[in-house]
Amino acid sequence: MTKEEIVRKLPYTDPFLFVDKITKVTQTHITGEYTFDENHTFYKGHFVNFPITPGVILLECMQQIGLVSLGIYLLRDKDFDLKSNSTVAMVENEARFYKPVFPNEKVTVLSDLEYFRFFKLKSKVKMVNEAGETVCSGVFSGILKPGDAKS
């Protein structure tokens, strides 16, 4: 499975896709990038005259790359299609925020697998800005369950 195929298999579209590309993927690690376009509608009200990316959107970006994309890769040999026959659910997250992310800022998400068993994936995930500074980090887990095989 290629890095481009992982992105195509994500069950998100614009304006809620927060993955531009996957730059590295192995059985235990994934790295991806996203640039927060200044035209996202959430910047209009968060905060007036000083727009920053909402923390919940940073978490979503981290989870789309660090959990869902990694899960798609780990389940690549199964009939796993989040768009039609599978389930994904967030189970827990613990995050800390250190720096703001501004419009047009590019971030990199790095995720290291803690475990993947019984379709539960748990990873340590970190987001860094272009200066290499940690923006936020956390431990996330979710359920990625393949549906029934297609006939």
What residues are annotated to the active site?
46
Count the neighbouring beta carbons within 10 Å of the beta carbon of residue 129.
17
Residue 52 three-state SS: coil
Question: Across the chain, which distance is largest between two alpha carbons, in Å?
Answer: 54
Extract the tokens encoding 92.
């827990």
State the number of CA atoms in the 13 A half-sphere of 147 facing the CB: 10
Determine the Cα angle at 68 with ends 80 and 123, to 5°: 125
The Cα 122–Cα 67 span in angstroms is 7
Amino acid code (one letter) for 76:
R
Place of tokens 């996203």: 34
The Cα 88–Cα 91 span in angstroms is 10
